[in-house]
Amino acid sequence: MNRREALKNVAILLGTTISASTTTILFESFTLPENEKNAVAFTDEQKKILTEMAEIIMPTTKSSPGAKAAGVGKFIPMMVNDCYPAKQQQRFAKGLSEFEERAKAEFGKNFLALNNTERTKMLVDLRLGAIAQKESKDAATADISYFFTITRDLTILGYFASEVGCTQARAYLPIPGRYDGNVPLKPGQKSWAT
């Protein structure tokens, strides 16, 4: 099974948790042409921003590690570059730049310099903005809303497709029972459904 097929399966399990646009990208039957891949070069700082955003979306809890431990910060740019067409990669990058500018305008410092409360406030505001943009179709906030939606979707997808998400955030049973084709039945016992 290749990576795209595995991610499709995780997307099916997550149902409507991820947006239709992300689901569409994962379910496209074509392979992205090589000239469409890597249309955007993410800086190390941008990758750190994505890592910190992912950790706020899927934080570490008492019962399981968060998105940072699952490596979601590396997963997001890889998925954007490998699976999204060049125009959508550029739109994502534009939204990321707008996000960085918003942090500086709102708090006077870049996102990585913000404390956890300020970071969380930014993401809550972005979430509310994405909901409002979806309802109003406001073109002025379209790129940053798109960026947030894709970041959120890929965080959820990457987390639950990771070893951490599969084995520590969910109940994990490596072998869900054994197959025994010759089980003796007791008198009056119903046979097993196949």
Q: For a pLDDT cut of 70, what percent of the chain falls above it?
A: 71
Q: Which positions ≥6 away from 56 have C-beta within 8 Å?
A: 116, 119, 120, 123
Compute CA distances 176 → 17, 36, 108, whole Å.
26, 41, 53
What local confidence, expressed as pLDDT, does residue 20 receive?
61
Question: What 3 state SS string does 21-83 have?
Answer: HHHHHHHCCCCCCHHHCCCCCCCHHHHHHHHHHHHHHCCCCCCCCCHHHHCHHHHHHHHHHHH
Burial of residue 108 (CB within 10 Å: 0-12, 13-18, 19+) is exposed
Mean pLDDT along residues 117-138? 83
Q: Tell which wins on pLDDT, 190 or 91.
A: 91
Q: Which positions ≥6 away from 22 have C-beta within 8 Å?
A: 11, 149, 150, 153, 154, 157
What local confidence, expressed as pLDDT, does residue 192 receive?
57
* Global pTM value: 0.74
What's the start-to-end Cα distance of the chain, in Å? 25
Q: Tell which wins on pLDDT, 10 or 90.
A: 90
The count of C-alpha atoms lying within 13 angstroms of the C-alpha of 140, restricted to the half-sphere facing its C-beta, is 3
pLDDT band at 114 (very low <50, low <70, confident <90, very high): very high
AA letter at 91 = R
pLDDT band at 123 (very low <50, low <70, confident <90, very high): very high
Mean pLDDT along residues 123-133? 85
pLDDT tens digit sequence for 4-58: 555 555 555 454 455 666 656 665 645 667 777 787 999 999 999 999 999 999 9
